[in-house]
């Protein structure tokens, strides 16, 4: 038998908490191989010995068919002298934390487990915390790596003999399932009133279901925090939720009992179905079906719904024949991050809900539902949370960097041992407790990965709490311009090696000249950029209120055009408009802006009469929602060349909008024409730029590209003119992706020795 071999195999990636060791154990046994498998730090190490052909088969199967939820990023195979082992075994985890760590995300319940909770004969019948090696909570309950029960909040529950025997039997699908539990030994549900007092109930979940059906509001503790739930058929209950939560307009997420029910309320493409039913179970933004089955107050003024499918046993048990849709809104009060600690939830949500449905397993990391959309049958992550975070992308540098992100849609990115680990969305840092959670998460990421970043990457905006924190540290730091970070987020995600042209359309970002940028055309790479074009500056008045009150953008643009806006904005008091005009005249609280986001606000105020917003980007979202897709017209526009920079004007465009308004054209027509104009003018610009620099790779980035109409139209137009386009997919194109962009940019700059240390605040990337 001279073909006997022995190998040591190291696999890294998302390989813990996904049933990797039992999977390997089974495969090795089936092929008659011997050796062992172990978690070491966050790497899975295998010693495998036996016939060479069988080992090959074993490795091929491992790579081609890993367990669901696993993501092998790297595999290292070393040949060794043959040695026989006594069978194949799983050996206990070592605590070697020096190795690369990957943190497994939470996974939605698997089909096998769903079968069990529905089977009257099964011992887990109706047990709301049923899970197995390939499903259940992970990141939200992990204290430290490696992923073992003792390092999670499941440490509080001792396995009963029946569960222990499953855990110990190699043939059981719960073999070495760290979160294994049942009704006898695992977490338990209780139903409480709004004051947190227990309510007698034999089956809390059945009682909760009845209460939901009757129109009551329930705070439900889930995987990463609390949801505020009510019957999605009940218009009054939804109104009450909106009133109590102080959320007048913001779209509310729906949980549909299954795919068939989701299809009754939305159009669902093949890709959308794949994502809805994936184990990551995000909220998918889908096109509403007409006529609407559910009340209009779920997502007023917009043409899509955020829909997800149940992702825990508990969720499945909440539905019945007459309760097919639930509102599952984030459990927070307006302006705060998601509640996940029981005491905090009872205190903060007691005035919103009528009841609480809670359990006694501690959530260690708050994490919201992820939000994704599908554009041209490709997935785009809009909010990275449960199931998606922490996300891991390879960036080949040796230094360790903590990237701070921006202010809105905050997230952190920790670059460690050649991988960028991006955290979940943590809300806006200016909200009351988001900043606290953000700092806690920073510590947690460092502990989980055993990282000690030497460099901090941050935004240029000194008003951001993330920047202020960075400036206070004595370590080396690298300021990254906001739109360069957006551009690099895309360059790094697609691993582009050559210079690209970046079309970065955004709300707000500090420019290197002190103005607010957001309509930018850049040329550059990870390490540097040149601003080759932008939308013409306008003087905006009102600081933060300019964002929350789109009429201010409209009045500012019109003032710059010498047009009296009082009549056009007649739902705003003329005293307010006059005060704004006066303030611009005397330069009080004014700033220069090239932000496309504000131009969209201006047009929405004029066309949709959207003067105030109550959630982020509401004005632009409503403007996009009314587009008449068959319109191909566009407004005249101008492009000026000044000091080697192109400048796109807004006067001709807005004059066109005003003319159409006067002629009584519909909002649908004007909106389409305006969107088309932004595309035409932009593509015209990049054609001019290409004729000088010869670059035909285009990177599209910034929050404005969450606008699917604009993104699709821009991609199509650029393709017709021979460009190659790239946009973010796994990384959010909005400010949720800034930290990743900062990390990748700073890594490149550090590699080139191009960074400042201490707190000089000097920019190094323009």
Residue numbers of the site for Zn ion (CB under 5 A)? 110, 113, 132, 135, 160, 163, 182, 184-185, 506, 509, 735
CB nearer to Zn ion: give 12 or 742: 742
CB-based contact 216:354 (threshold 8 Å):
yes
CB nearer to Zn ion: give 115 or 585: 115
List of E strands, 240-354? 254-256, 266-267, 283-288, 304-308, 325-330
- Alpha-carbon span 10 to 744, nearest angstrom: 26
Instruction: Tell me how far, at minimum, the Cβ of 484 lies from Zn ion, in Å.
Output: 11
Instruction: Tell me how far, at minimum, the Cβ of 292 lies from Zn ion, in Å.
Output: 33
Instruction: Tell me how far, at minimum, the Cβ of 405 lies from Zn ion, in Å.
Output: 10
CB-based contact 480:457 (threshold 8 Å):
yes
CB nearer to Zn ion: give 184 or 644: 184
CB nearer to Zn ion: give 368 or 506: 506
Instruction: Tell me how far, at minimum, the Cβ of 165 lies from Zn ion, in Å.
Output: 10
729: which DSSP letter? S
CB nearer to Zn ion: give 209 or 484: 484
CB nearer to Zn ion: give 55 or 619: 619
Q: Which two tokens stand for residue 13?
A: 């990636």
Instruction: Tell me how far, at minimum, the Cβ of 518 lies from Zn ion, in Å.
Output: 7
CB nearer to Zn ion: give 160 or 323: 160
Q: What are phi and psi of 527, to 5 degrees?
A: -90, -15
Instruction: Tell me how far, at minimum, the Cβ of 163 lies from Zn ion, in Å.
Output: 3
CB nearer to Zn ion: give 5 or 386: 386
Q: Considering only CA atoms, which of 267, 254, 366 is closest in space to residue 307?
A: 254
69: which DSSP letter? T
CA–CA distances in Å: residue 632 to residues 668, 675, 716, 751: 12, 10, 13, 47
CA dihedral 120, 121, 126, 131 (to 10 degrees): -140
Instruction: Tell me how far, at minimum, the Cβ of 458 lies from Zn ion, in Å.
Output: 14
CB-based contact 213:322 (threshold 8 Å):
yes
CB nearer to Zn ion: give 113 or 558: 113
Q: What is the 3-state secondary structure (H, E, C) of 453-513?
A: CCEEEECCCCCCHHHHHHHHCCCEEEECCHHHHHHHHHHHHCCCCCCEEEEEEEEEEECCC
Q: What are phi and psi of 31, to 5 degrees?
A: -95, 5
CB-based contact 309:255 (threshold 8 Å):
yes
Instruction: Tell me how far, at minimum, the Cβ of 182 lies from Zn ion, in Å.
Output: 3
CB nearer to Zn ion: give 339 or 521: 521
Instruction: Tell me how far, at minimum, the Cβ of 730 lies from Zn ion, in Å.
Output: 17
- Alpha-carbon span 472 to 439, nearest angstrom: 14
Instruction: Tell me how far, at minimum, the Cβ of 718 lies from Zn ion, in Å.
Output: 21
- Alpha-carbon span 135 to 307, nearest angstrom: 21
Q: Considering only CA atoms, which of 401, 448, 396, 452 is closest in space to residue 42?
A: 448
């Amino acid at each position: 038998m001279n073909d006997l071999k022995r190998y040591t195999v190291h696999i890294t990636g998302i390989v813990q908490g996904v049933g990797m060791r039992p999977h390997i154990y089974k495969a090795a046994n089936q092929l008659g191989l011997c050796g062992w498998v172990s978690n070491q730090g966050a790497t899975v190490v295998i010693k495998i010995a036996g016939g060479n052909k069988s080992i090959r088969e074993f490795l091929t199967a491992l790579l081609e068919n890993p367990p669901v939820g696993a993501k092998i990023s790297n595999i290292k195979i070393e040949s060794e002298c043959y040695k026989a082992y006594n069978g194949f075994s799983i050996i206990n985890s070592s605590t070697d934390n020096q190795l690369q760590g990957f943190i497994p995300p939470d996974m939605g319940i698997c089909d096998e487990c769903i079968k069990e909770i529905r089977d009257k004969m099964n011992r887990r019948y109706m047990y709301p915390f049923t899970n197995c090696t390939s499903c259940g909570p992970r990141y939200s309950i992990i204290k430290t790596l490696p992923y073992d029960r003792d390092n999670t909040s499941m440490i509080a529950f001792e396995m009963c003999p029946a569960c222990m025997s499953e855990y110990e039997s190699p043939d059981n699908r719960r073999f070495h399932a760290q979160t294994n539990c049942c009704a006898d030994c695992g977490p338990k549900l209780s139903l409480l009133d709004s004051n947190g007092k227990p309510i007698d109930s034999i089956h809390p979940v059945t009682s909760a279901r009845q209460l939901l059906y009757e129109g009551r509001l329930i705070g439900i503790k889930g995987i990463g925090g609390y949801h505020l739930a009510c019957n999605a058929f009940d218009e009054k209950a939804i109104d009450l939720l909106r009133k109590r939560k102080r959320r007048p307009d913001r779209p509310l997420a729906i949980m549909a009992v299954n795919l068939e029910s989701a299809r009754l309320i939305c159009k669902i493409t093949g890709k959308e179905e794949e994502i809805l039913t994936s184990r990551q179970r995000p909220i998918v933004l889908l096109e509403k079906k007409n006529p609407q089955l559910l009340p209009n107050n779920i997502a007023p003024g917009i043409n899509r719904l955020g829909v997800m499918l149940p992702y825990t046993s508990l969720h499945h048990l909440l539905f019945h024949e007459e309760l097919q849709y639930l509102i599952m809104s984030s459990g927070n009060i307006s302006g705060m991050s998601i509640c996940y600690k029981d005491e905090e939830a009872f205190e903060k949500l007691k005035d919103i809900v009528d009841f609480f449905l809670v359990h006694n397993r501690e959530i260690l990391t708050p994490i919201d539902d992820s939000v994704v959309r599908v554009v041209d049958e490709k997935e785009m992550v809009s909010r990275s949370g449960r199931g998606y975070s922490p996300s891991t992308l390879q960036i080949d540098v040796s230094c360790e960097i903590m990237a701070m992100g921006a202010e809105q849609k905050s997230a952190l990115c920790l670059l460690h041992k050649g991988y960028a680990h991006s955290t979940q969305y943590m809300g806006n840092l200016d909200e009351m407790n988001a900043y606290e959670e953000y700092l806690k998460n920073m510590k947690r990421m460092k502990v989980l990965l055993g990282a000690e970043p030497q460099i901090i990457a941050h935004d240029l905006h000194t008003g951001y709490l993330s920047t202020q924190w960075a400036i206070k540290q004595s370590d080396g730091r690298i300021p990254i311009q906001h739109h360069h970070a957006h551009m690099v987020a895309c360059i790094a995600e697609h691993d582009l090696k050559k210079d690209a042209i970046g079309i970065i359309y955004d709300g707000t970002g500090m420019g290197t000249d002190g103005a607010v940028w957001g309509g930018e055309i850049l040329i550059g790479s990870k390490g540097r950029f040149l601003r080759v074009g932008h939308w013409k500056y306008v003087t905006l008045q009102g600081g933060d209120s300019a964002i929350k009150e789109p009429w201010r953008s409209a009045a500012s643009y019109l003032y710059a055009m010498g047009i009296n806006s009082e009549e056009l904005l007649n739902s705003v008091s003329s005293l307010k408009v006059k005060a704004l005009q006066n303030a611009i005249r005397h330069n009080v609280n004014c700033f220069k802006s090239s932000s496309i986001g504000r131009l969209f606000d201006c047009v929405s105020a004029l066309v949709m009469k959207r003067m105030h917003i109550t959630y982020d980007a509401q004005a632009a979202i409503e403007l996009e929602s009314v587009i008449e897709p068959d319109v191909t017209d566009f407004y005249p526009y101008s492009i000026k060349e000044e000091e080697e920079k192109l400048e796109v004007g807004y006067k001709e465009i807005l004059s066109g909008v005003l003319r159409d308004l006067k002629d009584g054209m519909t909002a649908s027509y004007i909106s389409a024409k305006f969107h088309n104009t932004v595309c035409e003018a932009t593509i015209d610009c990049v054609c001019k730029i290409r004729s000088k620099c010869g670059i035909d790779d285009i990177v599209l980035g910034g929050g404005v590209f969450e606008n699917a109409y604009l993104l699709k139209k821009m991609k199509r137009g650029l393709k017709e003119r021979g460009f190659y386009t790239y946009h973010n997919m796994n990384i959010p194109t909005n400010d949720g992706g800034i930290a990743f962009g900062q990390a990748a940019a700073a890594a490149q700059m550090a590699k080139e020795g191009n960074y400042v240390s201490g707190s000089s605040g000097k920019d190094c990337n323009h």
